[in-house]
Amino acid sequence: MADYIEISDAEFEAEVIKSDIPVVVDFWAPWCAPCRFVSPILEEIATEYKGKLKVCKVNVDDHKEWAMKFGVSSIPTMLVFKDGEKVKLPCASALKIAEKFSVKPSEIGTICNDRNIKITRCQLGCFN
């Protein structure tokens, strides 16, 4: 069983905004190849930081409300929330991707482009 939580628009406030621990929210869709690339890394993070960090996934095909509120215009987009507020720092998923490829978080876009995976720094919302 996965340690991440798939949530709907109706569950977003309770699971993310009102969470007592930091939350990484992955805005994704099943048809999105870069989303599938990042998914196992997010699952690993959810397991490794269970109880300290929550990982929530929002399928933007089915649940658009919060993606629109936060200006998500491309996927995957990962945002980090702490105390109900979006924070601007490298999220655990970006750090884990960087660790996996032995690069700085700012180089993730280059690594993905080298492998024809269409992820850019701006899509990892934690860098915005």
Q: Where are the domains of the chain?
A: 5-127
Active site residue 122: no
100 φ, ψ (degrees, to nearest 5)? -60, -35
Which of the four CATH numbers 3.40.1390.10, 1.25.50.10, 3.40.30.10, 3.50.50.60 does domain 5-127 have?
A: 3.40.30.10
Q: pTM for this structure?
A: 0.71
With contact defined as beta carbons under 8 Å apart, do 92 and 23 qualify? no
Element (H, E) at 86: strand 85-87
Q: SS3 for 120?
A: coil
Q: Are 89 and 56 in contact (CB under 8 A)?
A: no
Each residue of 113-128: pLDDT tens digit?
Answer: 444 444 444 444 444 3
Annotation says 32 is catalytic: yes
Options 35, 56, 91, 126, the catalytic residue? 35
Residue 15: pLDDT over 50 = yes
Cis peptide bond prior to 76, omega within 30° of 0: yes
Catalytic residue among 32, 56, 91, 112: 32
What percent of the chain shows pLDDT beyond 70?
Answer: 66
Q: pLDDT for 102-111, tens place per residue?
A: 555 555 554 4
What DSSP element (H or E) covers 79? Answer: strand 77-82
